[in-house]
């Protein structure tokens, strides 16, 4: 999908991925390919304890 993307919007807290293919991995891959990344993390949002 990144091959066709002009920009990636990621809902991400900036933390490392919990497993392969997590948001952090996708963001890193997009950045590595030169795809602009916009990170969205709303105020007050928090990650699941899971």
Average pLDDT taken over every residue of the chain: 90
Which residue in the block uniquely carries the two structure tokens 């993307």? Answer: 5
Compute the average pLDDT of residues 7-13. Answer: 95
Q: Pick the residue with more confidence: 34 or 46?
A: 34
Compute the average pLDDT of residues 7-34. Answer: 93
pLDDT digits (tens, 9 = 90+) for 28-40: 999 999 999 999 9
The closest alpha carbon to 12, from 28, 24, 30, belongs to 24
- Residue spans of the domains in the chain: they are 2-40
pTM of the predicted structure, to 2 decimals: 0.81
Q: What is the pLDDT at residue 50? A: 61
CA torsion angle 9 11 14 17 (round to 10): -100
Q: What is the pLDDT at residue 44? A: 84
């Amino acid at each position: 999908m990144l091959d066709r993307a002009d920009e990636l919007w990621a809902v991400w807290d900036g933390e490392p991925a919990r497993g392969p293919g997590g948001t952090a991995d996708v963001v890193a891959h997009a950045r590595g390919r030169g795809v602009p990344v916009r990170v969205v993390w709303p105020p007050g949002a928090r990650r699941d304890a899971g």
